[in-house]
Amino acid sequence: MTEKKEKEAKKVTATAGTFDVLRKPIISEKSAKLAETGGLAFEVDMRATKKDIARAIQAIYNVVPKSVNIIVQKGKTKTFRGKFKGTQKTVKKAYITLKAGERIEIATA
């Protein structure tokens, strides 16, 4: 009478905060090379954690990420017109690796 309970895949639903985690996809040469090997690059919210980003990818694109790597790119100090100093914004980036065979088309998604 011992029956194995099959684990059902948990369906993650998108909530209002889910769409605030991923700001925009990063379109660059590096992200194009990542896309060939099943990777993606996104600009994300500064307060987002790896788990938040993984949940957002799963809820929005219906794909479970294999890994999520995060970097924080500090804003550079720039001089404008020779005398005005300012800084560019600090950006948090997430590099997402997908499982083999899974893809996300950013242009069509």
Number of domains the chain is built from? 1
Round the average pLDDT of the chain to a whole number and report it: 85
pLDDT exceeds 50 at position 34? yes
Helix H or strand E segment including 57: helix 50-61
pLDDT exceeds 60 at position 105? yes
Q: What is the mean pLDDT of residues 69-82?
A: 93
pLDDT exceeds 70 at position 18? yes
Let me know if residue 75 belongs to a domain. Answer: yes
Contacts of residue 91, Cβ cutoff 8 Å, sequence gap at least 6: 43, 72, 73, 75
Instruction: Give residue 109's pLDDT.
Output: 46
The CATH number of residue 51's host domain is: 3.30.70.330
Q: What is the mean pLDDT of residues 59-78?
A: 94
Q: What is the mean pLDDT of residues 42-67?
A: 93
In the 3-class helix/strand/coil scheme, how is 78-93 assigned residue by residue?
EEECCCEEEECCCEEE
Let me know if residue 69 belongs to a domain. Answer: yes
Let me know if residue 13 belongs to a domain. Answer: no
Let me know if residue 104 belongs to a domain. Answer: no
Let me know if residue 3 belongs to a domain. Answer: no
Residue type, 41: A
For residue 75, give Cα distances in angstroms to 50, 72, 82, 90.
Answer: 22, 9, 19, 4
Instruction: Give residue 49's pLDDT.
Output: 93
Let me know if residue 62 belongs to a domain. Answer: yes
Concatenated DSSP letters of 16-53: TTHHHHEEEE--SHHHHHHHHTTEEEEEE-TT--HHHH
Let me know if residue 65 belongs to a domain. Answer: yes
Range of the domain at 54: 18-98
Reported as a pLDDT band with limits 50, 70 and 90, residue 56 is very high
